[in-house]
Amino acid sequence: TSFAELTKYLWLGADSSFRPEGFKSDLGRFAPQFEGNQQHDSQELLAFLLDGIHEDLNRVRKRPYIEDKDCDGTNDEGDAIAAWSHYLQRNRSIVVDLFQGQLRNTMTCRNLQPDGITRGCGRISVKFDPFMYLSLPISDACDTLDDCLDKFCEEEWMGGDERWYCDRCKRHVDATKKIDLFTLPPILIVHLKRFKFGASGQKSKIDRTVQYPLHDWNLSDAKKSGEGVYPLYDLYAVSHHRGNVGFGHYTAHAKNRFDGEWYHFNDSQCQRIDPGREGLGSCSSAYCLFYNRVEMVRSMNGMVEEKKTVIRRQSISRPELWPHLQRAKAAEWKSVRDDNFVFEDGEDTPGLARIAE
């Protein structure tokens, strides 16, 4: 209720700013970690809110028990579709429709064999896991967002206390772990991991400048599924953190989808800005980045192609709307709404526009 009131005031309120005291108070009661006036982490708040909204709006009333299938990497496209089908039997909400994609998690046995030379018994385990945001590391070699993504997808050695149980070797063994992007959501949230813990447990902040694209971020090389809509993304908002671990201040930049202009938000102040002069696209304060996938969609007259974000509601009964089965034919669709967001309906959904082929 508090979040709904907050949303209503943001969109329909007559005042130029709104102080969300009621929302903050209710949030602290549900999540004590956000009580008080000390500094809190915006990404942790975002994750908590999206999880809560998903649970409240989940269209699945009775969740069946489904055991995850352990795959071997020989049929990734089919296995990913099966995993998504299983996931939708338990989770269907607007949060899934908008924000959730799929990661491919590959574990490979690297157990030293009796010959003393060969590493690995040949066992490969692949699982497809849903994700709601990407938390990307920042290293000394990370100058761009693509560098951070490459770091996220690097193969990782799992040894010592992190050894993996190989069901073929029947014991915990050295292994490699690799995470890849497999399918991507209409709205992609990227969290840059600027806060880290040192060997002594002390927390510090990484203030390295990272360049990030404002438009046409092409993820076709990073996305390992050969199916689905072409993964091209435009930035529409940035959450900034300035300061250190103990003290800081959050501001934001966001693009108004009605006038196409960028705005700077700082507490109760809001002003239109020039993204070039503001240094948008390269800074050390960017913390959470919000991208929307763009597709070329025909306008109402069917003549002009426009960039739009197409939202396809996920349902068990309409597998042709799943991200794995989409094809890059968005220009063949026509919307009954002249809007920047096109909703494709997979179930009975009053208030959302249906798409006709």
Cα(93)–Cα(132) distance, integer angstroms: 12
Q: How confident is the model at residue 343 (pLDDT cuts 50, 70, 90)?
A: very low
The model carries a pTM of: 0.86
When pLDDT is cut at 50, 70 and 90, the band that residue 115 belongs to is confident
Q: Is 225 helix (H, G, I), strand (E, B) or coil?
A: coil
Find all residues with CB under 8 Å of 292, minimum gap 6, and list them. 186, 187, 188, 233, 234, 236, 309
Sign (positive/negative) of CA torsion 300, 305, 307, 311? positive
Identity of the amino acid at 7: T
pLDDT at 166 over 80: yes
68 DSSP assignment: P
* Nearest alpha-carbon partner for 181 in 324, 26, 288, 322: 324
The SS3 assignment for 44 reads: helix
Q: What is the rounded (10 degree) CA torsion for 205, 206, 212, 218? A: -100
Q: For all residues of the chain together, what is the average pLDDT? A: 85
Report the b/e string of 127-153 with b at 16+ CB within 10 A: bbebbbbbebbbeeebeebbbbbbebb
Q: How confident is the model at residue 14 (pLDDT cuts 50, 70, 90)?
A: confident
The label of the residue with tokens 């693009």 reads 255
CA distance 209 to 143: 7
Would you place residue 158 in the very low, low, confident or very high pLDDT band (cuts 50, 70, 90)?
very high
Average pLDDT of 338-349?
Answer: 43
Q: What does 80-107 look like in DSSP terms, one character per residue? A: HHHHHHHHHTT--SHHHHHH-EEEEEEE
Residues 6+ apart with CB under 8 A from 66: 86, 89, 90
Count other C-beta atoms under 10 Å from residue 329's C-beta.
11
Of 243, 249, 240, 242, the closest CA to residue 289 belongs to: 240
Matching residue, tokens 């010592």: 160
- Separation between Cα atoms, residue 82 and residue 173, nearest integer Å: 29
Q: How far is CA 29 from CA 2, 20, 277, in A?
A: 12, 15, 42
Please report how the helices 21-30 and 2-12 are oriented relative to each other, as an axis angle in degrees rounded to 10.
160
The mean pLDDT of 274-279, rounded to a whole number, is: 91
Q: Three-state DSSP class for 274?
A: coil
Residue 312 has pLDDT above 90, yes or no: no
Strand partners of residue 175:
109, 158
Return the pLDDT at 1.
75
Question: Is there a contact between 289 and 212 (Cβ–Cβ < 8 Å)?
Answer: yes
pLDDT of residue 200: 78
At residue 326 the predicted structure's pLDDT band, cuts being 50, 70 and 90, is low
17-21, 77-81, 105-109, 121-125: least confidently modelled range: 17-21
Residues 44 and 191: their CA atoms lie apart, in Å, by 10
Q: Do residues 273 and 253 lie in contact, with contact meaning Cβ atoms separated by under 8 Å?
A: yes
Largest CA distance in the chain: 76
| Residue pLDDT, tens place only, 180-231 | 999 999 999 999 999 988 777 788 899 999 999 999 999 999 999 988 788 9
The span from the CA of 262 to the CA of 235, in Å, is 11
Cα distance between residue 215 and residue 331, in whole Å: 19
Q: Which residues pair with 259 in a beta bridge?
A: none
Q: What percent of the chain has pLDDT over 90?
A: 58
